[in-house]
Amino acid sequence: MFILLAAVVAFVPLQDSAHTTTPVQPAVGSSVALNLGIIHTGVSLGNSHRWNGFRINLRDGGVRKVNGISVSLWKAKQNGNRDASFNGMSVGLVGPEGGRLRGLNIGVVGVLANHDMVGVNIGGGALVSEGSIGGLNIGALGTASLGRTTGITIGGLGVYSRGGIHGATAGPLAVISEGDVAGLTLGGLGVASGGALKGVSVGGLGIYAKGKIAGITIGPLGVVGRDQILGLNISAITVSGRGRVGGLTVAGLVVSSAEVIEGIAVSGYRIETPKLLGFAVAPYNRIRGEQRGITIGVLNHANALHGLQIGLINHAGNNPAGLRWLPLLNFHP
């Protein structure tokens, strides 16, 4: 949210509301312009509210719809363009501001949409939308959307979306979404999803998702999920899921699941789960319940072994008393 806050400060002036008891509706500006054309079409110099063609104005207010090229030299009057529709090319020294922006939108400070922006959106500061952002989206400081962000999105510091992120997304600081994240996602420090995380995800420090993680996931410090983690999962420290962890999972220290580990798991220190279905390699393999498959390590421990343990010390809790602890090899068919 820091990106959203920074961008809003650039667009919205501060007000002293200490002595205000009722909301004050600001004036939106009159339609004063020198128009060269007919039927709202041609060249307009000034605050024309409806225009087709080329339009340039110092400060917009009360604009309804512009089709073509629109240039504004200063930020729009407060709430003056909330429902404005711009279709074509919108350029602002501070930034285009409207309800719906369609086409090429460029702002030196940023671009602000009160409903949504779709097309090629470029902000020297930030891209901010109270709805969705879609297309090619580049914010030198960041992008923030209260709706969904789709397409190719690059935020200089980070990318934030409340409604979800779909497509190719890169945030040198972080990529954060309160909804699902899908596609190619690169977060300089990390990637965090309040929903599912699917596709190829790389976090400079770590990956976190409340929902299902699926695909190729790389988090140097950790890959942590509150649901399932499936696919190729790699971390220098830990891969940990409350739900099923499956596929090929590699961690420098710990691979763990509160439910089951399936497939192939490799860890530099410990693998721990109540159930193993597959193949596990670690110095310490701790299967608190049922192991169906093979474990290789220094110490292998399974409460109920249905497979093979290879290691210095092996424990199978369901073997006869004299065969529960064995060196080198333990087996239960």
Asked if pLDDT for residue 1 goes beyond 90, the answer is: no
- What would the pLDDT profile of 20-64 be if each residue is shown by its tens digit? 333 333 345 677 868 888 888 899 898 899 989 999 998 888 899
Q: Are 44 and 32 in contact (CB under 8 A)?
A: no
Share of residues in the chain with pLDDT > 90 (%)? 73
- Name 123's bridge partners: 107, 139
217 residue type, one letter: T
- Angle value at C-alpha 246, between 241 and 250, nearest 5 degrees: 80
Least reliable range by pLDDT among 9-23, 87-101, 133-147, 318-332: 9-23
DSSP string spanning 125-190?
A: SEEEESSEEEEEEEESSEEEESS-EEEEEEESSEEEESS-EEEEEEESSEEEESS-EEEEEEESSE
Domain limits, the chain: 39-179
What is the pLDDT at residue 152? 96
Helix (H, G, I), strand (E, B) or coil at 3: helix
Q: What is the pTM for the complete model shown?
A: 0.81
Give the residue-averaged pLDDT of 284-305. 96
Q: Are 153 and 164 in contact (CB under 8 A)?
A: no
- What would the pLDDT profile of 198-234 be if each residue is shown by its tens digit? 999 999 899 999 999 999 999 999 999 999 999 999 9
